[in-house]
Each structure stands twice: as structure tokens, then as C-alpha cells.
Amino acid sequence: MRFLRLAGMLAVVFMSQHVFAQLQVEDTGGKPFRRKIIITSPGVYKAEVWQAWGGGIMGFYDLAADPESKVNLAGDTARRGLFEIGWHGRRFKGPDPADQPFCCVRHMRQIQAGKEKDKQGCYDGCADWPSGNRQRLKAWGTLDLFEKSPARVRVRARSTFVWWGMHDHKNLKVAAEYTFYPTGKIAVQVHVQNDGKMAFHWGGEYGPHLMVPGSDKKPEVDLGFVWSTPKQEISGTRGGGPSEELFLATSKRVKASLMLTIPREEHKLFSRAMRHNGRGIGWDRCGYGSEGITMNPGYDNTWACMIQMGTPGSALSAEMKTAAEALPYAMQYREPAELTGVTLVTDEAGDLNKDGYNESEGCHVLKGPGPLSFTYEKGKGAGFAPAFKVTGWKGDAPKTLKVDGRDVPVAGGVVNGKLIVQVLGTVPGPKATLGIGN
């Protein structure tokens, strides 16, 4: 971790980075199958969200090690995106009477094709998001750039799950809201609902995953990523066992690392580890799985997760070579720092456990016109680049924030009367006094 130490050194190291810590965003516009929203944190990363793929992060680059964006960490051959959900359903016994036409997706498709239902049992197929195969179905969905400032960019993708390029589960809907920060943190909120008349029966793969390029046959495709958790290195074709605090992808071939974590409460749903080794066809994915849930008609659920990129080439990013090193960054999200001396907002929709930390946006939410002064006690977390949203803020966004009386640069912006700031550094020690505004 990069700790804030001497005031003079802090000013030199972090202010020199501050000029580069302003997020940039480009919306290419155009037809859905061409439209991209590109988020760039100069010297740190570039992310590309593609509407044609249903709103997936189809491009992701470590600009510290790869300033010309030549190595796509999301994989040009994976065609799934850096962050993805789902895949295989499970077979199940259909309802009586046996000739009920719409017992499952597979039998429904057979009947629609003029065939008789086979006797192999019911199966809803796969439900994947995002994916390139959806282009032939024109299941692009919508893409919305709904917040932008130097401190963060927020993008909303609305789409549906599809079964490869064969079938659009039009009533099994998914919406993802990405919140991109300058330091390589991406908070994600996912909303899944079934507003149709048929249930969907999942296998164990429903949950948030990271997907990276990988190949045992093509070295030009393989980036050498391996998976680990605090308790194990994950190998084999399929994952298993209970889910843990995080999943980490590291490589000896590229400098970047990628970490995925979820709020503690989400382990009730995402209770198992999931690894699906598709290196034979150009990809490898790992993350959180579930226990074969059924999404009946009317199903409606919202959850959140967080991705953190690490790279040793940027003072603005984390550095995570092992799962043990990544654990404090995950714990900062899972068990947020305790704030005292300030009013917390606990009723935001994205604050899933109503504790004043918005898991869906990856920030504490405070209230007041400013200035604010409060105690930040980081607990098990890293204290790395904490982010704050302040409702009811009056005035412009500050360029610095006080940490124990010292000026520390921030990325900041005011959006619809709300101040958004991210500290560009790590809060030292177990406890510190933070001040926002003069």
C-alpha cells in the first residue's frame, strides 16, 4: 500500500499525480451495434462499454503499463466482457401434465419449430450477459451515460439474458450500473427481474464473475492469469467450495491484477466459488456462484459488487500481487470505515444494508452544506482512495481534502447539488481526521 507520510513528500507525490486524475469520457453515439462509452483515467486505465454486447466492459487497459492500449485485459477473443453474469441453467422435472407446451425454454423452442417435445427432461438453456452472440438477435438493450465529473463516471446498461445466439430471454431482464473512479475501482449494481410467465432454473453459475483471455494453444491470446482467494489457488476446470472475501486474477506476463468482491450480506445468495476454464476456446472466468436458484415470474432482486484494478505502474492505483495483499482492499468495501462526527445518509436505494455506505456506488454518503470534519476509522480496510458523496453541498468542488490537517489532492465534482470526491492516496494509520471544504 502507498501510505501518506510526510507533508512535503505527500504534496510532491500526490499533486504531481492530481493533474492526471481527472476522468475523461467519450460517448461515440451512433447505432446500437456501434455505440461505445469510453472512460479514461490517464495513466491508470481505460474502459470501453459496448452497447452491441448488451452493455459489457469489452475493453479494459492498464495505461500505466500499456499507454497505447494494445493489450485488452478483457480479451478480444473472449467476447464476454471483463464483468459477466450467469450462463448455464439446470435440468429439472417439468410440470404435469407432461404435454404442457411452455414447461421450459428448450421444449418451447421445439414446439415453435414444429417439432415434438423430446423426453430428455426440461431445460431453460443458458442465460448469459453480456455477450457478442446477442448481436444476431439484436438484443442490444440500451446504454445511458447518466453522471460524469472528474471524480467518477456512471453508466447504466439495460438488456436481457440470452442463450448464446439462439434465444433471447426477453422477460429475464438485467440492468447494470457501473460507477468508474479514477483509481481503478468500479462499483457495480445489478438488477435482475423476471416479468414473464415462465420461471428460469439456474445451475450454479449465476453470480458475478471476472472473465479474462486465456489459451493453452495460442500464446498470443493467453495473458497468463491465474486465480486465487485468501485460502486457495484455484485450478481445475470447474470451481467449487464456499465463496470467500475475494477472487484475484494475477499474471507474470502482464503487470495488472484484477480483484472482485461482494458485500458480506450477498454471501447468502452467492455462497459458492465458481470457476469455468474455457481456455480451449480463448477465455477463463472465475468468481461467485450460487446454489441453483429458480427465478419464478415476478422475481426481482438487486445486488452489488466491486472490481479493483491493481498495477505497480501508477501511484493512483492499488498494488495486489497476492490475495493476502488484496484482502484489505476487499475489506474496505465489505466492512466500510466507521465515520463519526458527521451525518450519514442511510436511505439511498443503492445502500443495500442502510449503513451509510452505498455499496452500489462504492462510497460513503454524507449530508451537509460544508465544510465537514469527521473521524475516519478504517478498521480492516486499506483506507485506499476513499470516496464520498455529500448531499446538500453548497459551493464548488474542493481540489484538496484535509487528512490530519494536511492537504491531500482529490478528484472532485458537483453533480446535481451533490459533491463527489475521491481521495488520491491512502489514509495513514488506523484512524484519521478528514476535512472537506474550508
Give residue-wise pLDDT tens across range 1-33: 443 332 333 333 343 344 346 899 999 999 999
Q: Return d(Cα 388, Cα 249) in angstroms, integer.
A: 28
**What is the distance between the alpha carbons of residues 86 and 93, in angstroms, rounded to a whole number?**
21
Q: Which residue matches cell numbers 429458480? A: 294
84 sits in which H/E element: strand 83-88
In this predicted structure, which of 82-91, 228-237, 334-343 has the lowest mean pLDDT? Answer: 228-237
**Per-residue pLDDT at 79:** 77
pLDDT for the residue 2: 41
Question: Can you tell me whether residue 111 is helix, strand or coil?
Answer: helix
**Bridge-partner residues for 154, per DSSP?**
147, 179
- Asked if pLDDT for residue 411 goes beyond 80, the answer is yes
Q: Please state, for a pLDDT cut of 90, what percent of the chain lies above it.
A: 80
Grid coordinates given for 274? 465458481
Amino acid (1-letter code) at residue 102 = F
Mean pLDDT in residue range 358-380: 98
Reply yes or no on whether the pLDDT at 185 is more than 90: yes
For residue 248, list its beta bridge partners: 228, 259
Q: What is the separation, in whole angstroms, between the first and last Cα of the chain? A: 29
- Residue 269's alpha-carbon distances to 44, 207, 263, 329, 331, in angstroms, are 33, 8, 11, 22, 19
- pLDDT recorded at residue 6: 27
The Cα 128–Cα 278 span in angstroms is 15
C-alpha torsion 337→425→258→249, nearest 10: -90
Asked if the model's pLDDT at residue 268 lies above 90, the reply is yes
* Over residues 370-377, mean pLDDT: 98
Residue 122 near residue 107, CB atoms below 8 Å:
yes
> What is the mean pLDDT of the segment spanning 91-100?
72
Question: In the chain, pLDDT over 70 holds for what percent of residues?
Answer: 92
Convert the pLDDT of each residue in 214-258 to its tens digit: 998 888 889 999 999 999 988 766 667 899 999 999 999 999 999
Beta strand spans in 105-141 (E)? 122-123, 126-129
Least confident window among 55-69, 88-102, 307-321, 333-347: 88-102
pLDDT digits (tens, 9 = 90+) for 165-182: 899 999 999 999 999 999
Residue 97: pLDDT band (50, 70, 90) is low
CA–CA distance, 301 with 174 (Å, rounded to integer): 10
One-letter-per-residue 3-state SS of 132-149: CHHHHHCCCCEEEEEEEC
Question: What DSSP line would sit under 320-387, residue for residue?
Answer: -SSHHHHHHHHHHHHSPPEEESSEEP---TT-TT-SSEETTTTEEEEE-SS-EEEEEE-TTS--BS-E
What local confidence, expressed as pLDDT, does residue 15 receive?
A: 36
- Closest by Cα among 226, 214, 195 to 322: 226
Q: What is the mean pLDDT of residues 255-272?
A: 98
Grid coordinates standing for 198? 415462465
Using pLDDT thresholds of 50, 70 and 90, give the confidence band for residue 337.
very high
Q: Cβ neighbours of residue 148 under 8 Å, at least 6 residues apart? A: 23, 25, 154, 415
DSSP state of 235: -
Question: Which one-letter DSSP state was computed for residue 198?
Answer: S
Residues 187-197, mean pLDDT to the nearest whole number: 98
How many Cβ atoms are within 10 Å of 179's Cβ, its own excluded? Answer: 24
pLDDT score, position 11? 33
pLDDT at 14: 42
Spell out the residues 6+ positions from residue 383 whose beta carbon is closer than 8 angstroms to its own: 332, 337, 376, 426, 427, 428, 432
| Domain segments of the chain as ranges | 24-89+126-328, 336-436
SS (H, E, C) 322-340: CHHHHHHHHHHHHCCCEEE
d(CA 103, CA 92): 10
Mean pLDDT over each residue of the chain, to the nearest integer: 92
Any idea what the Cα angle at residue 316 is, between residues 310 and 319, rounded to 5°? Answer: 30
Q: Which helix (H) or strand (E) holds 15?
A: helix 7-18
Q: Average pLDDT for residues 134-156, to the nearest whole number?
A: 96
pLDDT of residue 98: 54
Q: In what order do the strands lie in the sheet with 56-62?
A: 24-27, 36-41, 45-50, 56-62
CATH of 24-89+126-328, one of 3.40.390, 2.70.98, 2.30.30, 2.60.40: 2.70.98
Distance separating alpha carbons of residues 70 and 22, to the nearest angstrom: 22
- Greater model confidence, 304 or 218: 304
Highest mean pLDDT among 41-50, 95-104, 107-116: 41-50
- Measured in degrees and rounded to the nearest 5, phi and psi for residue 359 equal -65, -35
Q: Is 15 left (phi over 0), alpha (psi -120 to 50) or beta?
A: alpha
The confidence score (pLDDT) of residue 241 equals: 87
